[in-house]
């Protein structure tokens, strides 16, 4: 499996296509994945919840496109209730195939051992944060969290935040111009998610998420293929 890293370049925003279930993963060919996105996200927590993670690699047919693996914790939107040990075992299995790995910033301490191994094997990781409520203090918390991600050794900081108003969308996009030191992947969730994801990509969000198949993996998410077409039409700012 190719380990070619997904480019974390603000001037070249990438689309990440995420599968919400095993059926969508199995039904998507390599050609279709390449058409829809630049990077494929494999949600290990979702696949584990469906009981299909045995000795097989259900993503093997997608060899040739960078793969981003996630074993999401329940507190930040993960399926099931995976413990630290279970998440470590899942992540250990995918390292030979991984171009990127997503680990919540809040889990960096618990998963320090696997992060150290990834550093040795030169596998970059995305430090992520998710606010499904859209709390008032979240915007102020993002810059210091990005600094924490740098100190933890992450290659990128990702934040997904529920948007309530157009002002929220503008604030989120504005952070892409004010926070320095690490590539950012910022996006909204909820009814304003689609417009927020276009605007954030236009402002330099390096990884921009959509779904492949029939199951979104975040509130308000639109299809990766549609998002990719939309981003391609944007004038860079």
Radius of gyration, alpha carbons of the chain: 16
Q: In what side-by-side order are the strands of the sheet with 156-162?
A: 184-189, 156-162, 125-131, 100-104, 67-70, 39-43, 14-19, 207-212
Q: How many CA atoms lie within 13 A of 170 on its CB side?
A: 3
Residue 54 is predicted with a pLDDT of 66
Report which of 212, 209, 167 is spatially closest to residue 185, judged by C-alpha positions: 209
Residue 211 is predicted with a pLDDT of 96
Q: What is the mean pLDDT of residues 25-32?
A: 97
| Per-residue tokens: 35 | 């058409």
Residues 194 and 9: their CA atoms lie apart, in Å, by: 21
Residue 236 is predicted with a pLDDT of 80
Whether the per-residue pLDDT at 6 is higher than 90: the answer is: no
Residue 86 is predicted with a pLDDT of 92
Over the stretch 35-87, which tens digit does the pLDDT of each residue have?
Answer: 999 999 999 999 998 988 766 899 999 999 999 999 999 888 878 888 999 99
Whether the per-residue pLDDT at 1 is higher than 70: the answer is: no
Over the stretch 80-91, which tens digit does the pLDDT of each residue have?
Answer: 888 999 999 999
Whether the per-residue pLDDT at 105 is higher than 60: the answer is: yes
Whether the per-residue pLDDT at 113 is higher than 90: the answer is: yes
Contact between 169 and 141 (Cβ < 8 Å): no
Whether the per-residue pLDDT at 132 is higher than 60: the answer is: yes
Q: What is the mean pLDDT of residues 1-9?
A: 58
Burial class of residue 80, CB neighbours in 10 A (0-12, 13-18, 19+): middle
Q: What is the 3-state secondary structure (H, E, C) of the chain?
A: CCCCCCCCCCCCCEEEEEECCHHHHHHCCHHHHHHHCCEEEEEHHHHHHCCCCCCCCCCHHHCCCCEEEECCCHHHCCCCCCCHHHHHHHHHHHHHHCCEEEEEHHHCCCCHHHHHHHHHCCCCEEEEEEECCCCCCHHHHHHHHHHHHHHHCCCEEEEEEECCCHHHHHHHHHHHHHCCCCCEEEEEECCCHHHHHHHHHHCCCCEEEEEECCCCCCCCCCEHHHHHHHHHCCCCC
Residue 55 is predicted with a pLDDT of 65
Residue 2 is predicted with a pLDDT of 41
What b/e readout covers 210-221, taking b as 16+ CB neighbours within 10 angstroms? bbbbeebbbebb
112-116, 193-197, 216-220: least confident range: 216-220
Q: What is the mean pLDDT of residues 190-197?
A: 96
Residue 38 is predicted with a pLDDT of 97
Q: What is the mean pLDDT of residues 111-117?
A: 96
* Domains, the chain: 14-232 (3.20.20.70)
Contact between 41 and 18 (Cβ < 8 Å): yes
Residue 4 is predicted with a pLDDT of 42
């Amino acid at each position: 499996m190719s380990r070619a890293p997904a480019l974390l370049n603000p001037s070249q925003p990438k689309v990440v296509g995420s599968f919400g279930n095993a059926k969508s993963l199995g039904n998507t060919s390599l050609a279709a994945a390449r058409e829809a996105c630049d990077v494929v996200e494999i949600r290990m927590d979702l696949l584990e919840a469906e009981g299909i993670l045995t000795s097989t690699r259900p993503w093997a047919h997608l060899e040739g496109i960078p793969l981003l693996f996630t074993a999401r914790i329940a507190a930040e939107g993960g399926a099931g209730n995976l413990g630290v040990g279970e998440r470590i075992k899942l992540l250990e299995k995918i390292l030979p195939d991984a171009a990127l790995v997503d680990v919540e910033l809040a889990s960096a301490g618990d998963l320090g051992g696997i992060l150290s191994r990834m550093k040795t094997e030169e596998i970059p990781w995305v430090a992520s944060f998710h606010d499904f409520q859209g709390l008032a203090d979240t915007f102020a918390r993002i810059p210091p969290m990005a600094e924490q991600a740098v100190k933890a050794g992450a290659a990128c900081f990702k934040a997904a935040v529920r948007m309530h108003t157009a002002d929220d969308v503008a604030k989120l996009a504005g952070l892409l111009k004010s926070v320095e030191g690490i590539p950012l992947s910022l996006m909204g969730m909820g009814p304003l998610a689609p417009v927020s994801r276009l605007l954030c990509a236009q402002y330099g969000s390096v990884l921009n998420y959509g779904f492949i198949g029939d199951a979104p993996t975040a509130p308000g998410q639109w299809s990766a293929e549609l998002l990719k077409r939309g981003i391609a039409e944007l004038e860079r700012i």
